[in-house]
């Protein structure tokens, strides 16, 4: 049985492979740009010139970058028997949705999607190891 835990956010993904007494961790950096949208009033005067911000352009670019990010992760996890996804904010949910939409064979292996804040590498390994040890009898 190959158990994998994935801790994911928009900056990086840690893929943790759990074996009998050890954990191996691979880190995949993302290439998703951080957007800081500028816009609004170009002056402090009331009724001054207004800049139109095209949010949809930035969001569409980010969506494509996230899909490319998932595409680099999937080959590394597709041979797993069980997968658990951890992470802060919306990245874990977006990752799970992308798997369900475009990688159904991998999505079937996902057992759980859980909230987890930023952690050290050792904390991340321990979280995944403890998860699979705790639910060993349930599988």
The pLDDT score that the predictor gives to residue 36 is 63
> Counting every residue, how long is the chain?
139
Is residue 40 in a domain? no
Q: What is the pLDDT of residue 23?
A: 86
Report yes or no on 14 lying in a domain. yes
Residue 19's pLDDT is: 81
CATH of the domain at 16: 3.30.420.60
Confidence class for position 80, pLDDT limits 50, 70, 90: very high
Question: Is 23 inside a domain boundary?
Answer: yes
pLDDT tens digits, one per residue of 14-63: 999 988 778 899 999 998 887 665 555 555 656 655 555 667 888 888 89
In a domain, 64, yes or no: yes
25 lies in some domain: yes
Q: What is the mean pLDDT of residues 89-117?
A: 93
- Number of structural domains (the chain) is 1
Residue 87 lies in a domain: yes
* Cα(75)–Cα(94) distance, integer angstroms: 18
CA-wise closest residue to 5 among 38, 22, 15, 92 = 15
Tens of pLDDT, residues 84-102:
999 987 899 999 999 999 9
Contact status, residue 18 vs residue 4, Cβ threshold 8 Å: yes
Domain annotation covers residue 78: yes
Is the pTM higher than 0.85?
A: no
Structural domain contains residue 74 = yes
Which domain does 101 fall in, by range? 3-33+53-134
């Amino acid at each position: 049985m190959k158990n994998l835990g994935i801790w994911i956010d928009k900056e990086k993904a840690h893929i943790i492979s759990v074996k009998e007494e050890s954990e191996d961790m691979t880190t995949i950096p993302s290439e998703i740009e951080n957007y800081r949208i500028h816009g609004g009033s170009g002056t402090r005067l009331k009724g001054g010139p207004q800049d139109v911000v095209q949010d949809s352009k930035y969001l569409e670019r980010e969506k494509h970058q996230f899909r490319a990010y998932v595409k680099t992760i999937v080959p590394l996890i597709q041979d797993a028997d069980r997968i658990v996804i951890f992470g802060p904010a919306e990245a874990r949910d977006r990752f799970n949705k992308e798997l369900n939409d475009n990688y159904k064979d991998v999505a079937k292996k996902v057992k759980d999607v859980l909230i987890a804040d930023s952690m050290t590498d050792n904390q991340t390994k321990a979280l995944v190891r403890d998860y699979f040890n705790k639910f060993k009898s349930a599988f």
